[in-house]
Structure 1
Amino acid sequence: MKTGYLKAFAATMCLCLSAGTVHAAQKALLIGAGVYPYLEPDAQLSGPANDVRQMADFLKGDWGFASSDVRILVEEGAAKNNILGSITGWLASETRPGDRVIIYYSGHGSQVPDRNGDEEDGLDETFVPTDYGRRGARAEDMLTDDEIASALSTLKGREVILIADSCHSGTVNRDVVPDLVSKGLDAKARYLPFSGVSRSLPVVRDEEPLARETNVHLTLSAALPHQLAWETNGSGIFTQNLIRGLRTREADLNGNGRVTTAELLNYLRPRTEQWCQRVEDCRDLQFTPNMSPRNEAFILQPASAEGPVQTVTGNTADDVSDVLPEQSSQEIKVSILPGSVHQIGDEVQFQLTSGVDGYLTLFDLTVEDDLVLLFPTDEDRSAGKTGRIRANSALTVPDPSYGFSFEAEAPAGKGKLLAIVTEDPVDLENLLAANGEFEPIGDKIDFMKELSGRLNKVWTADNANRSARWAAGYQDYEIRQ
């Protein structure tokens, strides 16, 4: 008989935006760079000004920002000095440590040669302000990640969220990614080539743009450094989905009233990547939103209706799927044999069916606030059981070859099984091997955050970066006296 079966896991680390230490203020700087008076006609974008209007409406209508809390820089107002001055001047003077600051940029992105040696690939990611080009194609007239980091250093202690709906690619030219309106598609890449950067196709990289060395709690970016962000119907696809997911709470994948960054990422990526598959010029590089620094349980919520924005850090979330939400759960079927309700002492088996070939990991979210790894354990690995599962072919744990059975244990109550199938061979081995003795996982909070982080890590083993392919399925159960 193996112990540790069927108990309940509840606590997880989070950084909430809705209860705790009161903030004195909340401010948002919204930047829309679409009209470039010094650049050629095909460099113009129709979406950024619309994106900024939609974001302003969302922050004021849904998140409780007053009009005086929001500064908008669009078109000629989105010049380089205006952007930097609004960060180091307006935001720095109008906020204090502990306040919430949102900086949103919609417009062209690019890359220029790195000037201080801090980039592995020799390129700085940039925003392209609307006064770029007035002195010709000069790298110093773009707004680099180093300059943004320096400006953000004036906001130390603030809770800074940086959102970028732009490309961060200098390795693909406009001949490779043309304006697609001429092909009958209202789609355009938000990328501006720079003449000092190689025009060959990019090397696959796993690096978050505009996040290194920046004083931010969270960066949300539309695309990876070598990828393109896209707009259609006069608005950025990333921004459209971001606002919709938060406004309608569709991004609250576990339905518990909160949207974490893990849930938001798993809401956004399928939508941008599915759109990308319909656009030939997008498919080569993909369109993969990302976040950094990685905090899977950072909760995105509006201000409290009763007062100012508030923050809490600690074990305040009450659902493991705040960190690991369901993703394509219809592909994973989890069954308990002989049934999901049983008496203490009953022997049980688990039967798993996946819609895709992959690698299975099975957890027990238990009644007593424990998290237990059920498969694959140390014994499974030593017996050559790797967790490989074939599409539409049921896998039973334990099967007769195990020589033992699982038994429902006291106390009575309700719990949940969590099955994860990774279609890509995501590296979980050392994480699982440290917790493979049918004992409750010691630091379950850090464990689940690390597991979620690995599943959400950008997959770099293919020709183009993309999301790792995985799915999760849940099955409730009950033990009775």
Structure 2
Amino acid sequence: MTKRALLIGAQSYDLTGVHADVALMERVLADRGFTDIRVCADSEAGYHGMADALTTLADETKEGDAVVVYYSGHGSLLPVPPAHRGDLPGSPHHLQYLVPVDHRHSTADDFRGYLAEELTAVLRRVTKITRNVTCVLDCCHSGGMVRDMGGWRIKSVPSEVPVAAGLARSVELATGPRYPDPHVVRLVACQRHGFAYEDDRQGLFTTGLAKALEDFRGRPVPWSVMIPRIRDHIQPRVVLQRPEAGGPSGRLPFTLDVPDQPERMPLASHDGRLRVPGGVLFGLGAMDRVRLVLPADGSRAETTAETEVVAIEVTDALLDAPAIPFPSPLPAGSYALAVRVHTRHPVHIETRGAFAEALRARLASSPRLFEAADADKALASVRMRNGVAEVVDGNGLPYRHPDKALDSGSATPSARAGKVVALLETIARGERLRELTDPEDLSRLNVELTARMEVETAPGSCVYRTFLTGDEGLRAGCRYRVSVAGNARHHELYVWVLGVGLSGRTTLVTHDQPSGIRLESAAAPDADVGADAVTWDSGPVEIWWPDDVPANGSRPESVLLLVGDRQLDLSPLVAAVRNVRSEPAALSALLDEVCDGVRDSRRNATAEALRYRVFNWRTTVEPPQRQPGATTEERGERKSQ
């Protein structure tokens, strides 16, 4: 097994810190055992040089390798003139691409931008060989305004280059998958509508990434936990540059390992008050208990303290002051854990002996579960079948195939109970989200919105019908799509899609932008929404029956579309999943989440809480009809489980 990395540095259009970015990443990766590190910079970072370097990396990668693709430079989201779109059916509204150093030399026949579709395709080639792939993009795009913030700069990429050849290349590539490979961890400089900054030395995202990796050296901390630390390193310098981690971000850095981890909730301090932003969405209410965790930092050891939710302010949970003094501002990477909450779910135990006692002890310490005497009122029941623990629903259907690794001969009762309770907590989290509805208080978003879910009439037909409340009997392999629109052009709105799948797992379907995808002005307003319309649609999402769920009966499936007026990272709602087939796919083309997602210069001067609306569709899903053919991943579609 070889640890390989390709570091691309395209220092163009007055950027000054790209070479320093590449040098820093070279040191960071070499320090973590990468032995095959290739640098593509200076004149080699032209379009053909970048393309050749990525192709060579894919050609030389071997099974089991760890692979990193890193890019520092500009990214561009270039609007395609309507006249060009009319000349070439199927063309996109924007070209999304990395900006090589020879970009300005593009001609009508030679477009020198490395398209999102090209990057997606080469990464998909790599993951067919090895699943251990990480893509890091520290880039900005041409759509941003130039703002002067005390020396922080961003330069827009000129958009006068001819686009005809690039448009033709994009349409040609559209015959293949457009969506990111679900096996690629994607670390991105920030979100879609913002700005990326560098100082005279290097990019802030690359600096923050290197510091976070050093902060957690030797500790089993996944990317999903590390990304808030990266944000904390950046925000004291330029606030609201918001990096994200997409794809299977529950992995430990540069590995396939997914550690068990609790539901870490965000922790913030404003005007001397501690709060959990969006605490209502994480199931918190008044009098619930939480544990506050301040990570170790230099000479200070990790600090923990318990406290209580004293009030709900819109959607934020306000916390009582802990018994020990907490520093202000909070240390980077601080978070909260649920200790005991009001939204607890009953579990019935149908077994005896040491395992049953270990299970009761685990339930007693679970913040979201308790033992129930009545099986009819329980979320789930735990029983023994042929010496193996089994968790079943109200109809007696097992949530998972029996885990033979946890039979009495290979694990202690405590370890077996811990595995069962982890599954029960995953199911309980999903059930809590199934019940989420529009709030009736100040946390309700006061914007008129319409949303709909549509189901494909026949597999692969691309013809959809409206999903009606009470529709039953969808089958695994069916595809749906959701959309939302409203007359809210002057509001800044964000959208998330969550699926509570037939497996009981919660999937953040919009995992590529876990802090929300911004609604955009409608390209062609219709009579339903008017001239001030903002819209968004998910594209096709396939209902997937996970391999670890028995195909012995219909199962419930819920799709939630949440619209809010603030960014909020909802990735903690998604349980860590070890089965690699269970990793959720991302929603949009790779540079939707990175190259046109750059760093935001707006200052967050208030502690205003999220106001939101929820659209919730429920159905049942029948087991799949097993047929040969391409898999979801090969078609490049996203999945809901």
Q: Within 2, Cα distance between the matches of 1:83 and 1:339?
A: 49
| Structure 2 residue aligned with 1:45 | 15
Q: 242, 250, 266: which one pairs with 1:297?
A: 250
> Would you say the 8 A contact 2:494–2:519 is kept in 1?
no
Q: Within 1, Cα distance between the matches of 2:9 and 2:433?
A: 53
| One-letter code aligned to 1:161 | T
> Would you say the 8 A contact 1:30–1:71 is kept in 2?
yes
Shift of 1:134: 3.6
1:122 aligns with 2:122: no
SS in 2 for 1:59: helix
Residues 292/275 of structure 1: CA separation in 2 closer, same or farther (3 Å cut): same
Q: 247, 268, 279: which one pairs with 1:328?
A: 268
| Structure 2 residue aligned with 1:21 | none
Q: Provide Cα deviations, 1:185-216, integer angstroms capped at 9, x if missing partner.
A: 32121541312699xxxxxxxxxxxx943446
Q: Within 1, Cα distance between the matches of 2:253 and 2:4?
A: 15
| Structure 1 residue aligned with 2:7 | 30
> Would you say the 8 A contact 2:78–2:96 is kept in 1?
yes
Q: Within 1, Cα distance between the matches of 2:287 and 2:238?
A: 38
Shift of 1:454: 11
> Would you say the 8 A contact 1:51–1:239 is kept in 2?
yes
> Would you say the 8 A contact 2:288–2:309 is kept in 1?
no
| One-letter code aligned to 1:194 | S
Q: Provide Cα deviations, 1:52-96, integer angstroms capped at 9, x if missing partner.
A: 0000000011x1112xx101122222122111111112x134321
1:65 aligns with 2:34: yes
Q: Within 2, Cα distance between the matches of 1:270 and 1:27?
A: 29
| One-letter code aligned to 1:353 | V
Residues 132/96 of structure 1: CA separation in 2 closer, same or farther (3 Å cut): same
Shift of 1:138: 7.9
SS in 2 for 1:140: coil
| One-letter code aligned to 1:64 | G
> Would you say the 8 A contact 1:111–1:197 is kept in 2?
no
> Would you say the 8 A contact 1:127–1:144 is kept in 2?
yes
Shift of 1:337: 8.9
> Would you say the 8 A contact 1:113–1:196 is kept in 2?
no
Shift of 1:130: 1.2
| One-letter code aligned to 2:71 | Y
Q: 141, 146, 155: which one pairs with 2:117?
A: 146
Residues 214/339 of structure 1: CA separation in 2 closer, same or farther (3 Å cut): closer
1:98 aligns with 2:70: no
Shift of 1:170: 3.7
| Structure 2 residue aligned with 1:56 | 26
Q: Within 2, Cα distance between the matches of 1:337 and 1:226?
A: 36
Pairwise CA RMSD of aligned residues? 4.8
| One-letter code aligned to 1:460 | R
Q: 568, 578, 581: which one pairs with 1:468?
A: 568
TM-score scaled by structure 2? Answer: 0.44
| Structure 2 residue aligned with 1:259 | 221
- Which runs of no fewer than 5 residues in structure 1 stay unpaired? 1-23, 37-42, 199-210, 251-255, 278-285, 302-309, 341-349, 391-423, 435-441, 473-481
* Equivalent runs, 1:281-292 vs 2, <5 Å: 287-292=241-246
* Equivalent runs, 1:387-466 vs 2, <5 Å: 446-447=505-506, 450=508, 456-458=514-516, 460=518
Number of aligned residue pairs: 337
> Would you say the 8 A contact 2:185–2:249 is kept in 1?
no
SS in 2 for 1:230: coil
> Would you say the 8 A contact 2:67–2:133 is kept in 1?
yes
SS in 2 for 1:317: coil
Q: Within 2, Cα distance between the matches of 1:233 and 1:93?
A: 36
Shift of 1:451: 9.8
Q: Within 2, Cα distance between the matches of 1:46 and 1:325?
A: 37
- Which runs of no fewer than 5 residues in structure 2 stay unpaired? 164-176, 277-283, 292-306, 318-340, 345-366, 370-416, 445-492, 521-533, 535-563, 573-641
1:166 aligns with 2:117: no
Q: Within 2, Cα distance between the matches of 1:454 and 1:88?
A: 24
Shift of 1:45: 1.2
Shift of 1:218: 1.9
Q: 146, 152, 160: which one pairs with 1:177?
A: 146
* Equivalent runs, 1:244-283 vs 2, <5 Å: 244-249=211-216, 257-272=219-234, 275-277=237-239
> Would you say the 8 A contact 1:161–1:219 is kept in 2?
yes
Residues 269/452 of structure 1: CA separation in 2 closer, same or farther (3 Å cut): farther
Q: Within 2, Cα distance between the matches of 1:269 and 1:59?
A: 20
Shift of 1:265: 3.0
Q: Provide Cα deviations, 1:79-137, integer angstroms capped at 9, x if missing partner.
A: 22111111112x13432133221110001111335687777x61121111112224569
SS in 2 for 1:133: helix
* Equivalent runs, 1:311-350 vs 2, <5 Å: 311-312=256-257, 317-321=259-263, 324=264, 326-328=266-268, 330-332=274-276
> Would you say the 8 A contact 1:457–1:467 is kept in 2?
yes
Residues 105/138 of structure 1: CA separation in 2 closer, same or farther (3 Å cut): farther
Q: Within 2, Cα distance between the matches of 1:336 and 1:105?
A: 47
Q: 358, 367, 374: which one pairs with 2:315?
A: 358
SS in 1 for 2:207: helix
| Structure 2 residue aligned with 1:345 | none
| One-letter code aligned to 1:263 | V
SS in 1 for 2:38: strand
1:189 aligns with 2:186: no
| One-letter code aligned to 1:59 | L
> Would you say the 8 A contact 1:262–1:452 is kept in 2?
no
Q: 73, 84, 87: which one pairs with 1:107?
A: 73
- Kindly, what percent of the aligned residue pairs are identical? 19
Q: Provide Cα deviations, 1:336-383, integer angstroms capped at 9, x if missing partner.
A: 79999xxxxxxxxx962358431668562558613275999699989x
Q: Provide Cα deviations, 1:219-245, integer angstroms capped at 9, x if missing partner.
A: 222133443211014111111111111
Q: Within 1, Cα distance between the matches of 2:495 and 2:29?
A: 37
| One-letter code aligned to 1:171 | G
TM-score scaled by structure 1? Answer: 0.56
Shift of 1:217: 1.3
Q: Provide Cα deviations, 1:148-204, integer angstroms capped at 9, x if missing partner.
A: 23433442322321111001x3434xxx315x4xx7x32121541312699xxxxxx
Q: Provide Cα deviations, 1:388-425, integer angstroms capped at 9, x if missing partner.
A: 899xxxxxxxxxxxxxxxxxxxxxxxxxxxxxxxxx99
Residues 459/95 of structure 1: CA separation in 2 closer, same or farther (3 Å cut): closer
SS in 2 for 1:147: helix
Residues 196/359 of structure 1: CA separation in 2 closer, same or farther (3 Å cut): same
